[in-house]
């Protein structure tokens, strides 16, 4: 239930669009197919979103602190490129922590449009941001940003600028990444996209980032099954699945799986699915890129390469991509 303080009528800036469902349907499809795989978007219910925020604070998880440092250092340059009166659209907005560094520097933003699938988490984050910046027009959209969705009207004068931090683009298969970039190029026409990209590096660094000593990433991964139990009444032995994450070097990606420790049955809405010992449900890929390789992918979607900001170790980069003209 939406807390009363977050009700759209109480806050005229908060324009809520219902999210599409489909968890049960997609989980059945994932369990029927071989190999078994499901979209990582289902990590992000309220519990999963909270676990991800904990992951971002872990000592092994370098992307968040590296990207935050880049945003702090280069926010003035990014604000200058953005220009006055812009509408800032954040895809997969989450806690809104990173975007604050940009909003603080922008010249009188027209509006801020965070788009996220986890409605409760998003509205709570928007309420906190609204309290900090009461003059800012915040117009959240609760939706799967990878599917068709509606955005509030674009500004009459300023540009629409997209923000997609965290290297979340790496969670998409190459064809899906291209589809998203093409959609963003259309939505942001006449504007630009600022996107975070995790770069290829030592596999040992990557392994540690996805297999933290505290087990938070394991809990985050296992939350998909716990969510199925909470929301769909799924029946299974929680001890029968374990977190597995490894670097697939030929494909330049981290893979996350839920691995069955023995032969067992998972029941979902009166259907039974057999797992053999060692069989997995593939829950996430996290592709790593070179700057040049990602710019080439973005060019196929219609973007033009702009400035690039990376850290001293070249572990992570922020890329400015100019969208096609509005004409």
Determine, yes or no, domain membership for 83. Answer: yes
In a domain, 210, yes or no: no
Domain membership of residue 264 (yes or no) is no
pLDDT at 19 over 70: no
| CB-CB contact of 102 with 79 (8 Å) | yes
In a domain, 44, yes or no: no
What is the chain's alpha carbon radius of gyration, rounded to the nearest angstrom? 20
Q: Write out the residue range of the structural domain in which residue 163 sits.
A: 4-21+54-201+288-322
For the chain, the average pLDDT equals 90
Q: Return the minimum-mean-pLDDT range out of 86-90, 140-144, 257-261, 316-320.
A: 140-144
Residue 257 lies in a domain: no
Structural domain contains residue 126: yes
How confident is the model over 251-271, as a mean pLDDT? 96
The residues with which 255 forms a beta bridge, in sequence order, are: 246, 285
With a cut of 50, say whether residue 10 has pLDDT above it: no
Domain harbouring 90, CATH code: 3.40.50.150
- pLDDT one-digit tens code per residue, 197-253: 999 999 999 999 999 999 999 999 999 999 999 999 999 998 999 999 999 999 999
Which residues, including other chains, have CB under 8 Å from residue 247's CB and lie 6 or more apart?
203, 206, 207, 253, 254, 255
Global pTM reads 0.85
- Confidence class for position 6, pLDDT limits 50, 70, 90: very low
pLDDT score for 327:
62
Instruction: Count the domains in the chain.
Output: 1
Confidence of residue 80 (pLDDT cuts 50, 70, 90): very high
Taking only the tens place, the pLDDT of each residue in 108-164 is: 778 999 998 877 888 889 999 999 999 999 999 988 888 888 888 888 788 999 999
pLDDT one-digit tens code per residue, 156-188: 788 999 999 989 999 999 999 999 999 999 999
Sign (positive/negative) of CA torsion 299, 302, 97, 135?
Answer: positive
* Residue 144 placed within a domain: yes
pLDDT at 2 over 50: no
Which residues make Cβ contacts (< 8 Å) with residue 166, sequence separation at least 6? Answer: 63, 64, 67, 92, 94, 98, 196
């Amino acid at each position: 239930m939406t807390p009363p303080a977050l009700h759209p009528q109480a806050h005229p800036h908060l324009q809520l669009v219902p999210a599409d469902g489909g968890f049960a349907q997609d989980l059945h499809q994932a369990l029927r197919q071989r190999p078994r795989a499901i979209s990582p978007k289902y990590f992000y219910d309220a519990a999963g979103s909270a676990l991800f925020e904990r992951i971002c604070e872990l000592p092994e998880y370098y992307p968040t602190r590296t990207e935050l440092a880049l945003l702090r250092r280069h926010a003035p340059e990014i604000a200058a490129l953005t220009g006055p009166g812009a509408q800032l659209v954040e895809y997969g907005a989450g806690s809104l922590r990173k975007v604050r560094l940009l909003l603080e520097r922008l010249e009188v933003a027209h509006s801020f449009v965070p788009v996220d699938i986890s409605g409760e988490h998003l509205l709570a984050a928007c309420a906190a941001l609204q309290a900090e910046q009461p003059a800012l027009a915040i117009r959240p959209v609760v939706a799967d940003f990878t599917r068709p969705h509606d955005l509030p009207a674009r500004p009459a004068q300023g540009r629409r600028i997209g923000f997609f931090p965290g290297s979340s683009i790496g969670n998409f298969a190459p064809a899906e990444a291209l589809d998203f970039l093409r959609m963003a190029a259309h939505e942001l026409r006449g504007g630009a996209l600022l996107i975070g990209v995790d770069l290829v590096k030592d596999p040992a660094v990557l392994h540690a980032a996805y297999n933290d000593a505290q087990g938070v990433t394991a809990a985050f991964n296992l939350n998909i099954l716990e969510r199925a139990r909470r929301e769909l009444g799924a029946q299974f032995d929680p001890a029968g699945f374990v977190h597995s994450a490894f670097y697939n070097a030929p494909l330049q990606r981290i893979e996350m799986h839920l691995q069955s420790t023995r032969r067992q049955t998972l029941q979902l809405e009166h259907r039974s699915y057999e797992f053999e010992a060692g069989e997995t449900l593939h829950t996430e890929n996290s592709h790593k890129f070179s700057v040049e390789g990602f710019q080439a992918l973005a060019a196929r979607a219609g973007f033009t390469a702009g400035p690039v900001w990376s850290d001293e170790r070249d572990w992570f980069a922020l890329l400015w991509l100019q969208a096609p003209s509005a004409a």
